[in-house]
């Protein structure tokens, strides 16, 4: 059993903290956001993440998991301190490390004995050494000499299946430089280590690079199939069949080969930008990633163009009412960071459309993220309410309930029958058979 503090109780910090407690460790989750900590203390989970509430409740009840706003005392009570704060993009696209630095310095000011400081946040190559320097500087300011190690332990969980991903990872990556730190990390992940989860030990820079390279690769793969889809539309091929056949090739694999409106979320956009920036900084530009970023941005605009073209061409969106179904960047999360729905709603509004939007979990997020177009936007009560009196349905996020719409009912609610399936969920023949005009991506 390890004594652990987790700084930052967002998607990653809360899931990591709760699951590490579930592995038998004693965990204090710390956040500067008082509201968040108060909610957690009263048993409320501030994010939508399937299964997380059970893990949190179980471990709070067992006395293994607690919540605090003050990092200093949590550091003193722990031997391992995880850094799980945000690393949002700075104006130039690089990762903004201000929160990581603040936590590192606070650890340096508070620590009273040996600590392993673990970078769980996604950070540029070289950050672990910076964290070490920031802590060392604070110790020097205090005039004390205390031993500590910094470890890089990138996180690969996916929102929407975060608990399952954390407890059944494809691999655990530990970048460390001392035997002591490596041994302590084995203790932290003992439940997985004993379970024969692939446990990859590397140096610090390698661990940091593994995370960026993995995310950038997936972003490239999505963008690849999106570009193939765009070409399919021109040549009369069906990208669904192309992807299915490609995916059968073991060297390619079927995952992340779904054509759609472009990737979004809290990770791929910012991590591809940050990696491109690292490449430029080191004089080794990553042209493939630079191109991916640009292509993904234009894929979102392309969706707005597709809808406008489908509705009759330039100017045709003026005065139309459009139902946008699904706003979160993917199903099973309320996260709307960089969600394609934002660019699509804004694009439709800019071309004169009125939007009726709905998402099962992201309505609160949408209220402020789409505030810029609130004059052109109404939030619906449910998926069918969103369709009332509309000229087009645009399916942006493939939540389960949106995969199985009652098409009779849909038709009875709409005033014109345009069906834009940006996730290729529906069968063209079935939708057209009901009297809709059907538009997929790459079909
Ligand atoms: P988040 O924004 O949901 O959470 C960050 C939390 O840190 C917030 O609650 C914030 O209040 C808190 N915080 C900020 N400064 C603090 C401080 N000084 N002390 C304590 N708490 C502080 O972010 P997230 O999505 O959990 O991402 C965290 C990191 O993990 C990022 O680097 C991200 O790239 C990485 N990551 C995210 C995912 C994901 O799916 N969200 C997956 C893998 C890796």
Query: What residue's CA is closest to ligand 1, atom 3?
Result: 10
pLDDT category of residue 104 using cuts at 50, 70 and 90:
very high
Of 39-48, 89-98, 205-214, 285-294, which range is least confident? Answer: 89-98
CA distance 353 to 317: 5
Distance in angstroms (rounded) separating the CA atoms of residues 139 and 153: 23
Choose, from 19, 29, 232, 267, the residue flagged as catalytic: 267
Q: How far is the CA of 5 from the centre of ligand 1 (A)?
A: 14
pTM score: 0.94
Per-residue pLDDT band for 147 (boundaries 50, 70, 90) equals very high
Q: How does pLDDT run across 240-267, given as a tens digit for each residue?
A: 999 999 999 999 999 999 999 999 999 9
Determine the pLDDT at residue 6: 98
Burial bucket for residue 217 (CB in 10 Å: 0-12, 13-18, 19+): middle
pLDDT at position 432 is: 98
Residue nearest to atom 44 of ligand 1 (CA): 155
Gap between the Cα atoms of 379 and 341, Å rounded: 14
- Among 147, 85, 83, which Cα is nearest to 111's? 147
Ranges of beta strands (E only) in 15-58 are 26-30
Say if CB 390 and CB 322 are below 8 A apart.
yes
- Dump pLDDT digits (tens) for 45-94: 999 999 999 999 999 999 999 999 999 999 999 999 999 999 998 988 88
pLDDT digits (tens, 9 = 90+) for 119-129: 999 999 999 99
Does the beta carbon of 338 sit less than 6 angstroms from any atom of ligand 1?
Answer: no
The answer to whether residue 232 is catalytic is no
Q: How many residues does the chain have?
A: 443
Q: Is 8 in the pocket of ligand 1 (CB under 6 A)?
A: yes
Per-residue H/E/C for 299-322: HHHHHHHHHHHHCCCCCCCCCCEE
Atom of ligand 1 nearest to the CA of 11: 26
Which residue spans within 64-209 are E strands per DSSP? 65-68, 80-83, 115-119, 148-152, 172-175, 199-202
Could you tell me the two tokens for 376? 């052109």
Q: Whose CA is nearest to atom 12 of ligand 1?
A: 8
């Amino acid at each position: 059993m390890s004594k652990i503090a987790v700084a930052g109780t967002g998607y990653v910090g809360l899931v990591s903290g709760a699951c590490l407690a579930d592995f038998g460790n004693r965990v204090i989750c710390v956040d500067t956001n008082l509201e968040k900590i108060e909610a957690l203390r009263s048993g409320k989970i501030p994010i939508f993440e399937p299964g997380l509430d059970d893990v949190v409740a179980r471990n709070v009840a067992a006395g293994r998991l607690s919540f605090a706003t003050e990092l200093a005392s949590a550091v003193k009570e722990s031997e391992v301190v995880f850094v799980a704060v945000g690393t949002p993009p700075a104006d130039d696209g690089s990762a903004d490390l201000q929160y990581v630095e603040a936590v590192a310095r606070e650890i340096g000011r508070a620590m009273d004995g040996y600590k392993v400081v673990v970078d769980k946040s996604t950070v540029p190559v070289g950050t672990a050494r910076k964290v070490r320097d920031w802590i060392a500087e604070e110790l020097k300011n205090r005039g004390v000499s205390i031993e500590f190690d910094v470890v890089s332990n990138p996180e690969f969980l996916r929102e929407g299946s975060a608990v399952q991903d954390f407890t059944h990872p494809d691999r655990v990556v530990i970048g460390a430089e001392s035997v002591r730190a490596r041994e302590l990390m084995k203790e932290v992940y003992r439940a997985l280590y004993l379970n024969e989860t692939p446990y990859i030990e590397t140096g610090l820079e390698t661990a940091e690079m593994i995370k960026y390279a993995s995310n950038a690769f997936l972003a490239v793969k999505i963008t690849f199939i999106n570009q193939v889809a765009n070409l399919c539309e021109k040549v009369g091929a069906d990208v669904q069949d192309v992807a299915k056949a490609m995916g059968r090739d073991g060297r390619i694999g079927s995952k992340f080969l779904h054509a759609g409106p472009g990737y979004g979320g809290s990770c791929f956009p910012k991590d591809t930008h940050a990696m491109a920036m690292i490449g430029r900084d080191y004089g080794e530009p990553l042209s493939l990633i630079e191109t991916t970023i640009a292509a993904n941005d234009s894929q979102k605009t392309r969706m707005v163009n597709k809808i406008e073209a489908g509705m009759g061409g330039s100017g045709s969106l003026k005065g139309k009412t459009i139902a946008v179904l699904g706003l979160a960047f993917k199903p099973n999360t309320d996260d709307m960071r960089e969600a394609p729905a934002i660019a699509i709603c804004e694009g439709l509004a800019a071309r004169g459309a009125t939007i009726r939007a709905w998402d099962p979990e992201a309505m609160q997020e949408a209220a402020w993220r789409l505030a810029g177009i609130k004059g052109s936007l109404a939030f619906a009560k449910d998926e069918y309410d969103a369709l009332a009196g509309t000229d087009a349905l645009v399916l942006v996020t493939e939540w389960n309930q949106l995969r199985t719409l009652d098409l009779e009912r849909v038709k009875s609610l709409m005033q014109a029958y345009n069906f834009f399936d940006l996730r290729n969920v529906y069968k063209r023949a079935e939708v057209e058979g009901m009297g809709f005009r059907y538009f997929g991506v790459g079909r």
